[in-house]
Amino acid sequence: MSINLDKKFNWYNNKQTPLLIAGPCSAESKEQVINTAKKLKKENINIYRAGIWKPRTRPGSFEGVGSIGLEWLKEAKQQTGIPVATEVANTYHVDQALKADIDVLWIGARTSVNPFAVQEIADALAGIDIPVMIKNPVNPDLSLWLGAFERFNKVGIKKLAAIHRGFSTHEKTIFRNKPQWQIPIELKKRMPELPIICDPSHIAGNRELLYKISQKAIDLNFNGLMLESHINPNLALSDKNQQVTPKDLKQIIAKIIIRKHKSSDNQYKTQIAELRQQIDNVDEELLNLLCERMNIAEMVGKLKSDNGVTILKTARWREILRNRTQSGEQKGLSKAFVIKLLKAIHQESINRQASVMEPLN
């Protein structure tokens, strides 16, 4: 299902630069909210963020200041002129946020997993013209994420954006939430008009990785970044390891290289056209070879069938896997890629062998 977005709505104040959303993980005090906003104004951020109700994994941690924080956000907006955003996780939050004139709402990763919660929030926003950003669900499930956009779109919300904040994993990785870039890339393919913003803070979980993740997102054509920034990160009541001061945020942003979508340089155009021609030729050769391989597979199937032999030979498959991944690695192809490719080829090969198997008499 495609979604119907408000094409006139401009998330960006300047189309050349990515949208920049920044602010503390949580609103903690009036002073912190306003001082951080004032500092971030100098960095030309487009939207100021702060969590008011914090969905914490375990009870007992700081769960947000509640509705009073909305007043602080409102005041930050009055003093800086920057639109403000906060997370809503139920209809009470929606009601409070709308009363406080919050400009942009976002749905957190622990809410977008739950279609009942998403539907309730969407229903509470029916007929209201407000931008909504939806974080990916904590689990790597693209359909669930797509479904959330569809639910909001169905009640008439046309100003939507996605926030990629990485996915929970049981295994330990260098990331707090594994990026699994293929998922937001697939989302972009399915909903090309939808802006996608990367949230390097929740992917990284620490300050050190913020620049690298931000640069990667921009290189992948993401439309913006959401970064957590706190006037005194070491004293932050939530997510302190990943928050940076507005000054450090400035340095991260300044380092990011913005690449062009295309170039009008003639030499570049000739070179890229030549390389693409080469790719087209190689793809054609690959398809011819795959076709040849499948024809051989059919001959194998026929031979096995004539001799009353079964199709699947696990020892042969293991041997192919071992030998091809080794050969691929020697040629500089990653093992994971060769395995994925071989599995797809082998499956099709089995299908083709099975298709020529004659029923036994």
Residues forming the site for ligand PEP (CB under 6 A): 25, 51, 55, 108-110, 135, 165, 202
108 binds, among Mn ion, ligand PEP, none (CB under 5 to 8 A by kind): ligand PEP
Of all residues in this chain, which one has the CB nearest to ligand PEP in the complex?
Answer: 108
Nearer to Mn ion, 51 or 195 (CB): 51
Binding site partner of 109, from ligand PEP, Mn ion, none, Cβ cut-off 5-8 A by kind? ligand PEP
- Judged by beta carbon distances under 5 to 8 A according to partner kind, the member of ligand PEP, Mn ion, none in contact with residue 74 is none
Inter-helix orientation angle 115-124/91-99, to 10°: 30
183 near 140, Cβ under 8 Å? Answer: yes
Asked if 85 touches Mn ion (CB under 5 A), the answer is no
Q: Which is nearer to ligand PEP, 18 or 51 (CB)?
A: 51
Taking a C-beta distance cutoff of 8 angstroms, is the pair 48, 37 a contact? yes
Assess 28 for contact with Mn ion (CB under 5 A). no
| Distance of closest approach, residue 219 Cβ to ligand PEP, in angstroms | 22
Q: How far are the Cα atoms of 52, 267, 276, 277, 305 from residue 270, in angstroms, in the given order?
A: 53, 5, 10, 11, 52
Q: Shortest distance, CB of residue 201 to ligand PEP, whole angstroms? A: 8
Handedness of CA 144, 146, 150, 156 (dihedral sign): positive
The C-alpha atoms of residue 43 and residue 22 are separated, in whole angstroms, by 10
The separation between CA 357 and the C-alpha centre of its own chain, rounded to angstroms, equals: 44
Dihedral pair phi/psi, residue 43, rounded to 5°: -90, 10
In the complex, residue closest to Mn ion by CB: 25
DSSP H helical ranges for the chain: 30-41, 68-80, 91-99, 115-124, 142-154, 182-190, 200-204, 210-219, 246-255, 266-306, 314-330, 335-356
The residue range among 41-49, 141-149, 233-241, 346-354 that interacts with Mn ion, by the rule CB under 5 A, is 233-241
Q: What minimum distance in Å lies between the beta carbon of 110 and ligand PEP?
A: 6
By C-beta, is 234 or 310 nearer to ligand PEP? 234
236 binds, among ligand PEP, Mn ion, none (CB under 5 to 8 A by kind): none
Residues 286-311 as b/e (b if ≥16 CB within 10 A, e otherwise) read eeeeeeeeeeebeebbeebbeeeeeb
Tell me which residues in 42-61 interact with Mn ion (CB under 5 A): none
Please report whether residue 25 would count as binding Mn ion according to CB under 5 A: yes
302 is in the binding site of which of Mn ion, ligand PEP, none (Cβ under 5 to 8 A by kind)? none
User: Least CB distance from residue 209 to ligand PEP, whole Å?
Assistant: 15
Burial 220-258 (b: 16+ CB within 10 A, else e): eebbbbbbbbbbebeebbbbeebbbbbebbbebbeebee
With CB under 5 to 8 Å by kind, the binding choice for 194 among ligand PEP, Mn ion, none is none
- The DSSP string of 192-207 is TTS-EEE-HHHHHSSS
SS3 of 51, please? strand
Least distance in angstroms from the C-beta of 55 to ligand PEP? 6
- Closest separation between CB of residue 238 and Mn ion, Å? 6
Q: How far is the CB of 354 from ligand PEP (least distance, A)?
A: 45
The answer to whether 205 and 177 have CB atoms below 8 angstroms apart is yes
Q: Which is nearer to Mn ion, 89 or 338 (CB)?
A: 89
Rounded-to-integer distance, Cα 348 and Cα 343, Å: 9
Asked whether position 239 contacts Mn ion by CB under 5 A, the answer is yes
Closer residue to ligand PEP in complex, CB, 209/297: 209
CA–CA dist 45, 80 (Å, integer): 11
CB of 21 to Mn ion, least distance (A): 12
Q: How far is the CB of 49 from Mn ion (least distance, A)?
A: 9
Q: Which does 244 bind (CB under 5 to 8 A by kind): Mn ion, ligand PEP, none?
A: none
Phi, psi for residue 175 in degrees, rounded to 5: -95, 150
User: What is the binding site for Mn ion (CB under 5 A)?
Assistant: 25, 239
